[in-house]
């Protein structure tokens, strides 16, 4: 009985340390190139709130077999590319319908398309390192289950606050407040962040959709 109890205690300790070490790092902001090199298997969602506009949502996932991405302008439209099976799907997540066709190199993974993950990178510096304007607040918080270091930055006519993922150095939350205002001009927050262990079946359940093969274009 004692051996069983010790075994269970050992498992609990391993689980605890595993959970802690899964998001290690000091919250140093990274360049787009560095983030994409490290974050190759993921499933990420976020919400964006812009003053005067409806909330918008984004979703994207990638693994060795393929990728999926929500259309930034039409949230019900989802592109799924299964490179392993050589198929491309264009889905309507509301109507649960879609078309599919053969994979071509035009559908190759283009890199991370979730632009707000790079909010910490100055738009005037392309996607290179330009973090001198970021100031550490000394605070850390948890966003979507991820440890994040909080930074501020004076930008344009207001102040930005950015929550940087401790491990990958990407932005998990971003707020911009206009000068002499307490209202958010821009608000983005990651609501789902899974790194590692993502497969094509984690992106979409194709059995829920009525699929038809796309017609070949006439020459």
Q: What is the pLDDT of residues 55-96, one digit of tens each?
A: 999 999 999 999 999 998 899 999 999 999 999 999 999 999
Residue 162 has pLDDT above 50, yes or no: yes
CA separation for the pair 82, 149 (Å, rounded) = 35
On the 0-12 / 13-18 / 19+ scale of CB atoms within 10 A, 129 is middle
Residue 121 confidence (pLDDT): 87
pTM of the model: 0.83
pLDDT over 70 percentage in the chain = 80
Beta strands in 96-183 (DSSP E): 97-102, 135-143, 146-155, 158-165, 171-178
Residue 193 has pLDDT above 50, yes or no: yes
Domains of the chain (ranges plus CATH)?
Answer: 25-210 (2.50.20)
46 C-beta neighbours (distance < 10 Å), count:
24
CA separation for the pair 120, 160 (Å, rounded) = 9
Task: Say if residues 136 and 125 touch (Cβ distance below 8 Å).
Answer: no
Which tens digit of pLDDT belongs to each residue from 8-63? 434 343 333 333 335 789 999 999 999 999 999 999 999 999 878 889 999 999 99
């Amino acid at each position: 009985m004692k051996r069983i109890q010790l075994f269970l205690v050992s498992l609990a300790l391993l689980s605890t340390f595993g959970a802690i070490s899964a998001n290690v790092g000091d919250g140093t902001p990274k360049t787009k190139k560095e983030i994409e090199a490290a974050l190759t298997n993921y499933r990420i969602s976020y919400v964006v709130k812009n003053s005067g506009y409806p909330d918008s949502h984004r979703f994207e996932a990638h693994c060795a077999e393929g990728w999926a991405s929500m259309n930034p302008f039409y949230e019900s439209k989802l592109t799924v590319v299964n490179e392993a099976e050589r198929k491309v799907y264009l889905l309507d997540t509301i109507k649960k319908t879609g078309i599919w066709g053969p994979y071509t190199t035009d559908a190759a993974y283009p890199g991370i398309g979730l632009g707000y993950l790079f909010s910490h990178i100055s738009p005037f510096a392309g996607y290179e390192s330009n973090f001198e304007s970021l100031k550490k607040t000394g605070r850390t918080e948890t966003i979507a289950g991820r440890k994040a270091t909080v930074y501020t930055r004076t930008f344009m006519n207001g102040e930005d606050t950015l929550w940087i993922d401790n491990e990958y150095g990407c932005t998990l939350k971003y707020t911009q407040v206009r000068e002499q205002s307490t209202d958010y001009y821009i608000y983005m927050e990651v609501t789902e962040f899974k790194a590692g262990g993502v497969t094509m079946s984690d992106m979409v359940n194709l059995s829920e959709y009525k699929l038809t093969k796309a017609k070949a274009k006439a020459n």
